[in-house]
């Protein structure tokens, strides 16, 4: 069990105070430090080094304050004498004459800026060490101690995330072993295997969630949107440019979905300038022709105004509004009233579209620009306004 002090240190990682010790297994390192003993003759300025040496000079401590000090001494290995500089104000003078382990960086020939000078055997301090994100006054060595205890006491509670047939097929580690290696890697190879396994499990979870969502959507029926090829073709032919093959394929997929009795969720992906906006406009054209409202969600007001201009240019005879927090109260209420009555056919807006006060008369199509800028619950709350 973690001590009360350790739990207090961990509490800043969680929103609630009643977390369980095993919840800390989800705190992953963001990088790793590899400490290996290198040949002293190969050291270069800037290298991170760890070595064993005997302190052979008096330890000189110049204190700037109680917590600030410059510590200097000399240390002898089997082959070289080094000048050591440390900024540890708690380094004890009784280390003089003792064999110590020094960890630090080569600042110049035969001079080391030490981050640690201690009496622990060097073999206990080499290997791969996790580096965790720190919060509050927590130190890295404290976090490592906490996570070592959490892994030891809670690893057996971890359930397997990947079915056995997939683990065998793709040569994955077990989830328990992966988490153990993530926090206490025995080698770089084992660490890479662990990362590969956990990434696979994450993508598998994502794919399962998509399948469940797809099944849910198939169970939710919506009104059919009949599509007039004549009107749509006339609109396409009136464009000052020709659609590319990719655009035509994307538009056909969206047409098929819109004409289905099942709800559609589709991701349209492309580089900047690849022509995603015109596909959104044509999809909106289909919805408007069927008497449905369209909501176009933008992450910023600048994009909102740009897309509103594009919609107004594309739809000469449709009622198009913008909705954002910058609107005056009277203007905003007028937009909300027109949406609820159905007078507004297309609304281009920002986060205000999520508001409970934003109600639609017959929302049939939601288009989300740069969807990664919005949370899953936010996007879903807007989509639900169409049911």
Tell me the helix, strand and coil percentages in the chain, rounded to 5: 45, 20, 35
Residue 58 to residue 73: CA distance in whole angstroms? 6
List b or e across 206-225, with b for residues whose CB sees 16 or more CB atoms inside 10 angstroms: eeeeeeeeeeeeeeeebeeb
Residue 368 and residue 349 in contact, taking contact as beta carbons nearer than 8 Å: no
The residue with tokens 């800043």 is: 12
| pLDDT bucket at 163, cuts 50 / 70 / 90 | very high
Q: What is the CA radius of gyration of the chain?
A: 31
| pLDDT bucket at 224, cuts 50 / 70 / 90 | low
pLDDT at 219 > cutoff 80: no
Q: What is the pTM of this model?
A: 0.56
Residue 127 to residue 237: CA distance in whole angstroms? 67
Kindly state the DSSP code that residue 354 receives in the 8-state scheme.
G
| pLDDT bucket at 210, cuts 50 / 70 / 90 | confident
Where do runs of H (alpha helix) occur along the chain? 4-10, 140-154, 164-169, 175-183, 188-218, 229-237, 245-258, 276-289, 301-314, 329-341, 376-383
What is the rounded average pLDDT of the residues 35-51? 95
* Backbone torsions φ then ψ of 102, nearest 5 degrees: -115, 130
Which pLDDT does position 253 carry in this prediction?
A: 86
Which pLDDT does position 317 carry in this prediction?
A: 64
**Residues for the chain: how many in total?**
387
Task: Copy the structure tokens of residue 22.
Answer: 């095993």
Q: How distant is the alpha carbon of residue 264 from its chain centre?
A: 26
Nearest Cα neighbor of 126 from 101, 151, 161 is: 101
CA 126-127-133 angle, 5° bins: 110
Tell which wins on pLDDT, 338 or 219: 338
Residue 100 and residue 54 in contact, taking contact as beta carbons nearer than 8 Å: yes
Tell which wins on pLDDT, 122 or 230: 122
pLDDT, mean over the chain: 88
Which pLDDT does position 102 carry in this prediction?
A: 97
Which pLDDT does position 128 carry in this prediction?
A: 94
Nearest Cα neighbor of 240 from 208, 207, 270, 275 is: 275
**Range among 39-53, 209-223, 270-284 rated most confident:** 39-53
Residue 356 has a CB neighbour count (10 Å cut-off) of 7
| pLDDT bucket at 387, cuts 50 / 70 / 90 | low
């Amino acid at each position: 069990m973690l001590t009360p002090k350790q739990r207090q240190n961990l509490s800043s990682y969680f929103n609630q105070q009643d977390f369980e010790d095993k919840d800390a297994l989800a705190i992953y390192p963001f990088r790793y430090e590899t400490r290996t003993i290198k040949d002293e003759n190969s050291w270069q300025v800037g290298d991170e080094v760890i070595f064993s040496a005997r302190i052979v000079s008096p330890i000189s401590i110049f204190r700037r304050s109680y917590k600030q000090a410059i510590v200097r001494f000399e240390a002898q290995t089997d082959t070289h004498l080094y000048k050591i500089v440390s900024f540890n104000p708690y380094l004890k003078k009784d280390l003089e004459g003792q064999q110590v382990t020094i960890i630090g960086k080569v600042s110049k020939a035969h001079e080391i800026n030490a981050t640690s000078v201690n009496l622990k055997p060097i073999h206990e301090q080499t290997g791969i060490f996790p580096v965790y994100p720190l919060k509050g006054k927590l130190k890295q060595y404290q976090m490592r101690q906490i996570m070592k205890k959490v892994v030891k006491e809670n690893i057996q509670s971890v359930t397997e995330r990947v079915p056995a047939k997939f683990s065998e097929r793709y040569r994955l580690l077990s989830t328990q072993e992966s988490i153990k290696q993530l926090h206490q890697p025995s080698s770089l190879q084992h660490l890479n295997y662990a990362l590969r396994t956990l990434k696979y499990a994450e993508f598998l979870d994502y794919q399962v969630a998509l399948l469940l969502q797809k099944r849910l959507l198939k169970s939710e029926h919506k009104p059919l949107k009949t599509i007039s090829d004549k009107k749509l073709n006339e609109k396409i032919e009136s464009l000052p440019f020709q659609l590319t093959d990719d655009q035509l394929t994307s538009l056909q997929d969206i047409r098929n979905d819109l004409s289905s009795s099942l709800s559609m969720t589709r991701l349209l992906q492309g580089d900047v300038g690849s022509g995603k906006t015109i596909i959104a406009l044509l999809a909106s054209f289909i919805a408007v022709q069927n008497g449905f409202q369209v909501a176009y969600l933008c992450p910023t007001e600048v994009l909102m105004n740009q897309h509103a201009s594009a919609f107004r240019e594309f739809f000469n005879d449709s009622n198009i509004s913008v909705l954002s927090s910058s609107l005056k109260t009277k203007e905003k209420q007028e937009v909300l009233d027109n949406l609820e009555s159905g007078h507004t056919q297309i609304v281009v807006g920002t986060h205000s579209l999520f508001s409970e006060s934003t109600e639609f008369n017959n929302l049939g199509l939601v288009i989300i620009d740069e969807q990664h800028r919005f949370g899953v619950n936010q996007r879903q709350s807007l989509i639900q306004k169409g049911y």
